[in-house]
């Protein structure tokens, strides 16, 4: 590995943000890989099949993913002037990725999703094994049960990595996880009960709570807290909220119009499951026809999707994303960040807001 000049002398310039971040992201992958290798070995010593459960988590994490949360955590830390040689922040970044794995595994059960990151979801894989081997009981119950445990394990692993963080971080970490779970509950509840099917404010609340905060705002805040800079939390909240909303709107657009081959998951799942997405919330405010389709309930994802396509809503949402990116970038324009980090965070905002998967 190339050594990076992280502690410059008096005249040497600091390593550029991109290079520092890239270096830590490489270490993150190594940590994840090494952790799962050791853990698989350790658990299989006690009982050989136990490695299968560890493997279900490891495979999902290893199958890719954008690593958005670790990247923002490490960026928050470095932008706050945290020492790049002090690798304690890496443990927090690993924890965030493992928490994300837990959330995906459990969410996929609730959504009955079959694919994730281009491979079968954890419950789907174990249900398939059950069917193939002709085991006792119901294949669905078995697969979903194993996935519940795999998600639990990922949650515990995440926590294990965060345990060494400074006390200041404990409350943030607890809040981040509780928000995520409560947000997901409200999402599932509203999709089923549909008590407020035409409430864009609720759509916004769900998106901010279950996804926006935990994707960008809280990871940045965690990173800054580990660097001992809680003073940055206002700037990071403003940036994170705007870019988090842009991230989520893009997610919704990818679900509604995207290419499953690129995203690694089926298209139109949210629409088919009556999820009150940010996209729908925004679309309903702009187009009464969409409001009626959503109200009608089981109109089907197909009709909703064509209506979203036909009307100008999509272009409108793209414009709203542009606005959010502008807002977010403006929010950190005056923040006291380490050299080069304003520009780097602006670039990252664009990357997440205009991605295709």
Residue ranges in 195-224 that form contacts with its own copies under rule CB under 8 A: 202, 205, 209
Binds its own copies (CB under 8 A): choice among 29, 59, 152, 343: 152
- For every residue of 108-153, DSSP letters joined together read HHHTT--EETTEE-HHHHHHHHHHHHT-SS-HHHHHHHHHHHHHHH
184 is a contact residue toward its own copies (CB under 8 A): yes
- Choice between 145 and 260, CB closer to its own copies: 145
Count of alpha carbons within 13 angstroms of residue 195, beta-carbon side: 7
Q: Where are the beta strands (DSSP E) in 125-256?
A: none
59 is a contact residue toward its own copies (CB under 8 A): no
351 is a contact residue toward its own copies (CB under 8 A): no
Q: Which residue has the tokens 């006390």?
A: 167
132 is a contact residue toward its own copies (CB under 8 A): no
How far apart CA 179 and CA 187 sit, in angstroms, is: 12
111 within 8 A of 273, measured Cβ to Cβ: yes
Q: How far is the CB of 112 from its own copies (least distance, A)?
A: 7
Stretch that binds its own copies, among 12-20, 149-157, 253-261, 299-307 (CB under 8 A): 149-157
Q: Where are the beta strands (DSSP E) in 88-219?
A: 115-116, 119-120
How far apart CA 206 and CA 208 sit, in angstroms, is: 6
Q: Which residue has the tokens 């059950």?
A: 130
Q: Where are the beta strands (DSSP E) in 176-257?
A: none
Binds its own copies (CB under 8 A): choice among 25, 119, 149, 198: 149
Residue ranges in 223-242 that form contacts with its own copies under rule CB under 8 A: none
144 is a contact residue toward its own copies (CB under 8 A): yes
Count of alpha carbons within 13 angstroms of residue 214, beta-carbon side: 25
How far apart CA 15 and CA 90 sit, in angstroms, is: 18
Stretch that binds its own copies, among 173-181, 226-234, 263-271, 328-336 (CB under 8 A): 173-181
Helices then strands (H, E): number in the chain? 17, 2
Instruction: Output the six-digit token pair for 230.
Output: 């809680």
192 is a contact residue toward its own copies (CB under 8 A): yes
- Choice between 105 and 345, CB closer to its own copies: 105
- Choice between 179 and 255, CB closer to its own copies: 179
- Choice between 15 and 162, CB closer to its own copies: 162
Q: Which residues bind its own copies (CB under 8 A)?
A: 43, 46-47, 49-50, 52-54, 102, 106, 109-110, 112, 130, 133, 135-137, 141-142, 144-146, 148-149, 151-153, 155-156, 159-160, 163-164, 167, 170, 173-174, 177-178, 181-182, 184-186, 188-189, 191-194, 202, 205, 209, 273-274, 297-298
């Amino acid at each position: 590995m190339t050594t990076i000049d992280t502690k410059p002398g008096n005249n040497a310039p600091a390593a550029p943000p991109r290079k520092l971040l890239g270096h830590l992201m490489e270490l993150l992958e190594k940590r994840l890989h090494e952790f799962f290798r050791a853990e698989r070995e350790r658990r299989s010593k006690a009982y050989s099949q136990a490695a299968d459960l560890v493997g279900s988590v490891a495979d999902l994490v290893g199958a890719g993913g954008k690593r958005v949360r670790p990247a923002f955590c490490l960026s928050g830390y470095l932008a706050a002037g945290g020492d790049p040689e002090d690798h304690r922040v890496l443990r927090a970044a690993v924890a965030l990725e493992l928490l994300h794995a837990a959330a995906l595994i459990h969410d996929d059960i609730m959504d009955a999703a079959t694919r994730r990151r281009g491979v079968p979801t954890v419950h789907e894989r174990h249900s398939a094994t059950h069917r193939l081997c002709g085991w006792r009981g119901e294949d669905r119950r078995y697969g979903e049960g194993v996935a519940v445990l795999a998600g639990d394990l990922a949650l515990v692993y995440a926590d294990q990595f965060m345990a060494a963080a400074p006390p200041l971080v404990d409350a943030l970490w607890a809040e981040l996880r509780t928000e995520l779970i409560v947000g997901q509950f409200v999402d599932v509840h509203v999709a089923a009960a549909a008590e407020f099917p035409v409430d864009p404010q609720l759509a916004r609340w769900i998106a901010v709570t279950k996804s926006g905060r935990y994707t960008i705002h809280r990871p940045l805040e965690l990173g800054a807290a580990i660097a001992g800079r809680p003073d940055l939390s206002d700037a990071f909240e403003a940036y994170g909220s705007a870019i988090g909303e842009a991230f989520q709107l893009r997610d919704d657009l990818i679900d509604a119009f995207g290419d499953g081959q690129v995203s690694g998951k089926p298209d139109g799942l949210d629409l088919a499951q009556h999820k009150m997405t940010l996209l729908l919330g925004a679309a309903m405010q702009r187009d009464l026809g969409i409001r009626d389709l959503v109200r009608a309930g089981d109109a089907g994802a197909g009709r909703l999707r064509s209506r979203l396509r036909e009307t100008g809503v999509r272009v409108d949402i793209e414009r709203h994303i542009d606005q959010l990116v502008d807002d977010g970038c403006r929010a950190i324009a005056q923040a006291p960040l380490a050299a080069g980090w304003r520009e780097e965070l602006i670039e990252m905002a664009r990357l997440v807001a205009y991605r295709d998967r």
